[in-house]
Amino acid sequence: MPLSRLFSSTREIPESSVVPRHIAIVMDGNGRWAKKRFLPRVAGHKRGVETVRSVVRLCIDHGVEHLTLFAFSSENWRRPPDEVSFLMNLFMQALRDEAARLHKNNIRLRVIGDLSRFDPSLVEVIREAEALTGANTALTLSVAANYGGRWDVLNAINNMVAEHPEKAGRYEEADLAPYLTLADAPEPDLFIRTGGEQRVSNFLLWQLAYTEFYFTDRLWPDFDAEAFGEAIASFRQRERRFGRTSEQLDKPAGEN
Ligand code: IPE
Ligand code: IPE
Ligand code: MG
């Protein structure tokens, strides 16, 4: 891979838009949703898949180009083995059930994360769904599975150094960018976390440098069209300065 300059919000000011081009979501609160109903935690995960379907549709309706969903973190292996294996099966089942529908709706699917720890049969289903939908253009849906922000950065560094040892000691931000997951997407404009916690939990650490954060107490299975609309409305009220002053934003481009 050549060292090419890719967009970075700390080097260039991105075009602002009313609708976020890229939304990244930590889908949290499935377990609590189930517990409130005296159901096993896994019932919440099952319901969560329905919310994914609805949010994908809402993104397309709003003209969002990229949706990145945190489905399973590199830390989630610490959960009870039964819950981990349920989540793996649910992921496999959802990919099998949804791939054709995603394709029909012109949605490109890809999975980001360290796939080396997954069962080969799951990796095969992932690769098939990615191949089927690879040329689609309505929305890019990136599902983060066994993903960790620190893994992403370290993985990128290792690949960059392996391919360009000659530049050691002189690497720049833009040199690393092409090796990160999501390299071909604009950085997320809006980060949403459901479930009430206000933390990043090792999601996209590099890519969130200038992202707007939105936290809601709504549990993921309850994150409906109204809740999605509230997140978008909050985003619209933000003033994205990227280091500049408010006064500079009022001036026409070029007069700063
Ligand atoms: C998020 O819901 C789904 C995954 C992490 C896979 P949780 O399972 O974390 O739900 P809570 O936080 O226990 O309610
Ligand atoms: C973060 O949720 C990961 C996903 C949503 C997949 P967690 O519920 O695992 O996060 P922490 O550990 O409570 O921060
Ligand atoms: Mg949680």
Taking residues 12-28, report their average pLDDT. Answer: 92
Residues with CB under 5 A from ligand 3 (ion): 28
| Residue, of 16 and 137, whose pLDDT is higher | 137
Which tens digit of pLDDT belongs to each residue from 27-51?
999 999 999 999 999 999 999 999 9
Residue 29, phi-psi category: left (phi > 0), alpha (psi -120 to 50), beta (remainder): left
CA of residue 68 to ligand 1 center, whole Å = 17
Looking at residue 4, its pLDDT comes to 40
| pLDDT over 80 (residue 5) | no
Closest CA to 71 of 105, 38, 127, 118: 118
Domain annotation for the chain: domains and CATH numbers: 3-8+18-250 (3.40.1180.10)
Nearest-atom number in ligand 2 for the CA of 220 is: 5
Instruction: Say whether 121 counts as a known binding-site residue.
Output: no
CA of residue 56 to ligand 2 center, whole Å = 20
In short, whether 29's Cβ falls inside 6 Å of ligand 1 is yes
78 alpha carbon, closest ligand: 2
Instruction: Say whether 4 counts as a known binding-site residue.
Output: no
Looking at residue 64, its pLDDT comes to 98
